[in-house]
Amino acid sequence: QAFTELQAKVMDTQQKVKLADLQIEQLSKTKKHAHLTDTEVMMLVDETRMYEGVGRMFILQPKGVIHNQLLEKQRIAEEKIKELEQKKSYLERSVKEAEDNIREMLMARRAQ
């Protein structure tokens, strides 16, 4: 019974690791998109009319506001990526421990 519980724990944890990988990948794309957009925005002259999409409408915003929003988006994505990587490393250690416990159980059964 403990063996099946450990197996279930390993499977569940491996799924969580895959989910964390997907989230990290998505956040990396978001961060890269914000960076590229910011690079293009900074090349424009300051008098360029820029609009921010809010729901179904667009609001006229100065270049500085758009720039700050893009920087904030990058910063938030970076923080979330770091958190997810820490969570992922914890989950990977948990999987390794559970697998080691399963091996020990199998060795103990063979020894008997």
Going from the C-alpha of 26 to that of each of 4, 21, 33, 94, the distances in angstroms are 33, 9, 11, 24
Domain extent, residue 85, equals 1-111
Q: pLDDT tens track of the chain, all 112 residues?
A: 777 888 888 899 999 999 999 999 999 999 999 999 999 999 999 899 999 999 999 999 999 999 999 999 999 999 999 999 999 999 999 989 888 888 888 888 888 7
Radius of gyration (C-alpha) of the chain in whole angstroms: 23
Pairing mode of beta strands 57-61, 50-54: antiparallel
Q: Which of 80, 91, 87 is nearest to 28 (CA)?
A: 80
pLDDT of residue 54: 92
Domain count, the chain: 1
- CATH number, domain of 82, equals 1.10.287.370
